[in-house]
Amino acid sequence: MTDPKEPHPEALHPLRPILKNWVWEHGHIHTRYLDCSDGAIKVDDGKKARFAAEKIFYVSLRKDADSAAHAAGPAIQEGNLARFLNAAQFGKPEQAGAVADVQRAAQDCIELGLVCAYQPDASSALARYAQEAMFDDEIHAAVIDDIRRKYIGLREQLALYDFTVFYGLPSPLLINEAPFIDWRVRARPMQPFVSLPLGPHALLVGTPSGKMSRAGPVLWKTVASMGPFKDHNRYIVEDTRLWLVATTEDRLIAVQSRFAPVVAPKPESTKPESNKP
């Protein structure tokens, strides 16, 4: 993860580990996505998710975080996370790893989801403070304070949630640049859970546990219907700002008109009146 003031060309998007589960690996290895900048459906070759290239302003949400923590980026255990995501993708919980490793991987997913969730707030704050008589370091610190003030309580809350991986979902899930959904806020009527897609057919869902010290083990459940998650893709589409990924082109075509660029009407040409004799 990079400091937005010093972008690095090799910086990886926080969602890159998760986006690998949307890669088509039969024959031509690629990801199909909709580019919101021009409304076009495009193909990203390979597994690197190059289309996810937006700048990321990282803020550590740990209570004791210092400037070094903000500069370092998320402390993700990549090996555990990869096993967990692979197990979710193929519906094989027995391959997810030890109980403690799976718990950590689920929390890592939530960490990455929140990083993406607060990017619009970070962008707005950067633009707002840029209008003030402030040095760059002061702007950076002010944005960090704003994000921590808004999100640190939520992060502490989610650390005590019970998490379940629902796999085998019958309708493929979409994913965008900020796929974490707080259904307590987003859904009408309100639903008491949060979610993050782990793959086209797997959804990580967190619910209040009532615990005060530590979360319980991650559960795994196979489902035959979308049930309470039936509006997931609708919320993802409605909240998409940059890019949208699906398993097939048909699913992107179905929502493409929503992202078509607005074409300014051409002014009507006026012919000069002819001089009458």
- Model confidence over 24-76: pLDDT tens digits? 987 789 999 999 999 999 999 999 999 999 999 999 999 889 989 999 889 89
* Alpha carbon distances (Å) from 127 to 121, 122, 263: 10, 9, 27
pTM: 0.89
What's the CA angle centered on 215, arms 210 and 219, to 5 degrees? 105
Domain assignment present for 68: yes
Span 183-212, average pLDDT:
94
Instruction: State residue 8's pLDDT score.
Output: 39
Is residue 175 classed as helix, strand or coil in its secondary structure?
strand
Contact 88, 18 (CB under 8 A): no
Domain assignment present for 247: yes
Overall domain count for the chain: 1
* Alpha carbon distances (Å) from 131 to 116, 134, 135: 24, 8, 11
pLDDT at 1 over 60: no
- DSSP code string of 85-136: HHHHHHT-GGGS--HHHHHHHHHHHHHHHHHHHTHHHHHHHHHHHHTSS--H
Domain assignment present for 4: no
Domain assignment present for 73: yes
Take residue 253 and report the two structure tokens written for it: 């075509």
Span 138-149, average pLDDT:
97
pLDDT category at 167 given cuts 50, 70, 90 is very high
Domain of residue 85: give its range: 16-259
User: What DSSP designation does 195 have?
Assistant: E
Domain assignment present for 156: yes
Nearest CA to 180 among 247, 227, 111? 111
Mean pLDDT for the chain overall: 91
Domain assignment present for 112: yes
User: Could you read off the pLDDT of 79-105 as tens digits, one per residue?
Assistant: 999 999 999 999 999 999 999 999 999
Axis-axis angle for helices 78-90, 99-117 (nearest 10):
90
User: Could you read off the pLDDT of 210-264 as tens digits, one per residue?
Assistant: 877 777 899 999 999 999 999 999 999 999 999 999 999 999 999 999 998 876 6
Domain assignment present for 264: no
**Residue 96 — left, alpha, or beta (φ > 0 → left; ψ -120 to 50 → alpha)?**
alpha
For residues 46, 260, 203, 88, the Cα torsion angle rounded to the nearest 10 degrees is: -10
pLDDT at 169 over 70: yes
Domain assignment present for 52: yes
Supply φ then ψ for residue 182, to 5 degrees. -95, 95
| Burial label, 246 (beta-carbon count in 10 A; 0-12, 13-18, 19+) | buried
